[in-house]
Amino acid sequence: MTYPDALKHLEQARFFPVYLLTGEEPFFIHQLLSRFREKVLDEAARDFNYDQFQGEGVDPAQATMIAKTFPVFSPRRLVIIQNAELIKDEREIFLNYLDAPCETTVLLFVAAKPDLRKKLFAALKKKGTTIHCAPLSEQALPGWILQEGKKRGIDFSEEATWCLKEHVGNDLFLIQQEIDKLALHLTEGKKIPLEMVQQLIAGGRSHSIFELTRALGEKDLKRSLALLSSLLAEGEHPLFILTMLTRQWRLMAVAREALDAGKSEGAVGKKVPMPPNLLPSFFKQLRNWKGGDIRRAFDLSLAADSQLKGGRQLPAQVLEMLMLDLCRPLATSQRTGYTLPFLESRP
């Protein structure tokens, strides 16, 4: 079952004796483990009925003996084995237990990436209940942010949601931490605008990376340089700026290809991960960007990335030169000395 299905399952308080919890989203795994402890155990008798082991050091005989022990002053016992993929010895003891698990114990194996070819995990998949915690897609992340905000009585605007997502990334622990920080400062039920997220999360920055990508999309060199200077002065990391610019070229490449294939802007917009109210501006900019322009922007950004990581030039100088090249016509782009392999191959 999936993470949402598992939450519903736990709310019903009807448990299976054995679970395999997998997946590469640690936040969801953490949440489910907390929910298992909350729902399976009686708080007053928790210390008597809860045991946790690490797979690399677990003694299967001890773990299964505890699992077979009846709970004390509680209807159930909970046994969790973390990092189960690291279990090395005496797997047969676990296999024997799976043939006749104790009905009053919930035995939970946690393995982010189990090898299902191994006997233990093949048996767990067949005889236990598997819960898979997959990472959220980029398209699903804004909806999750809105949902987490509503749990805390705050309502994000679309721009604020995307600002939070782009600034923090896809680390759900960090996103939740920032949402909790916002909740401490805001009145319940208040709509959260972009400016408020910038002030509380982006360190009080007066401008956003979205403004910079918009200025570059319009090839407005003067405004691009001014925004870059402001972002750097206010503490934005140069590599984060470059990462967001590269993401913009990727979105433009996908949209440009679809438009050139004859698809409408409405159809393409549904596949572009961007707030709907920003799409008209995005497509307006895209009319001035052909496939060659976008490929050139990718190459220039890749060269800038190498220079930033090489540390031979000041980050501000590298990014300023990138702004200059991005806003120049294609024919003059080689003046900076950047290597553009796809241009060099042209006659």
- What pLDDT is attached to residue 78? 96
Check if the beta carbon of residue 156 is closer than 8 Å to that of residue 146.
yes
**Burial class for 68, CB neighbours closer than 10 Å (0-12, 13-18, 19+):** middle
- What pLDDT is attached to residue 310? 79
The tokens describing 125, both together, are: 């998949």
Is the pLDDT score of 295 beyond 70?
A: yes
Q: Which of 286, 115, 308, 296 is nearest to 214 (CA)?
A: 286
Region 193-201: mean pLDDT is 68
Fold exhibited by the domain 3-132:
Rossmann fold (3.40.50)
**Farthest-apart Cα atoms in the chain, separation:** 83
Average pLDDT, whole number, for the chain? 83
Q: Say if domain 209-344 classifies as CATH 1.20.272.10.
A: yes
Which residues are within 8 A (CB) of 19 and not within 5 positions of it... i.e. 6 or more apart?
106, 107, 108, 109, 128, 129, 130, 131
- What pLDDT is attached to residue 204? 47
Q: What is the pLDDT of residues 134-147, one digit of tens each?
A: 998 878 888 898 88
Report residue 179's pLDDT band, with 50, 70 and 90 as the boundaries: confident
CA angle 139, 142, 146 (to 5 degrees): 150
- What pLDDT is attached to residue 62? 93
- Whole-angstrom distance, CA of residue 300 vs CA of residue 188: 45
Which residues are within 8 A (CB) of 57 and not within 5 positions of it... i.e. 6 or more apart?
none
3-class DSSP state of 159: helix
Report residue 70's pLDDT band, with 50, 70 and 90 as the boundaries: very high
Would you kindly state where each structural domain of the chain is located, as residue ranges?
3-132, 141-200, 209-344
- What pLDDT is attached to residue 96? 93
Report residue 277's pLDDT band, with 50, 70 and 90 as the boundaries: low
- What pLDDT is attached to residue 5? 92
Region 22-38: mean pLDDT is 93
Q: Which of 153, 123, 130, 111 is nearest to 26 (CA)?
A: 111
- Whole-angstrom distance, CA of residue 277 vs CA of residue 286: 15
Report residue 198's pLDDT band, with 50, 70 and 90 as the boundaries: low
Q: Which range among 57-71, 85-99, 259-273 has the greatest average pLDDT?
A: 57-71
- Whole-angstrom distance, CA of residue 344 vs CA of residue 347: 8
Q: Which range among 66-70, 288-292, 333-337 has the greatest average pLDDT?
A: 66-70
Ranges 59-73, 182-196, 291-305: which has the least confidence: 182-196
Q: Beta strands of the chain (E only): which ranges?
A: 18-22, 50-54, 77-82, 105-110, 129-132, 155-156, 191-192
- Whole-angstrom distance, CA of residue 68 vs CA of residue 184: 45
- What pLDDT is attached to residue 60? 92
- What pLDDT is attached to residue 182? 77
Other C-beta atoms within 10 Å of 246: how many?
16
Q: Say if domain 141-200 classifies as CATH 3.40.50.1100.
A: no
Q: Which long-range contacts (CB under 8 A, 24 or more apart) does 137-140 make?
A: 138/170, 138/273, 139/273
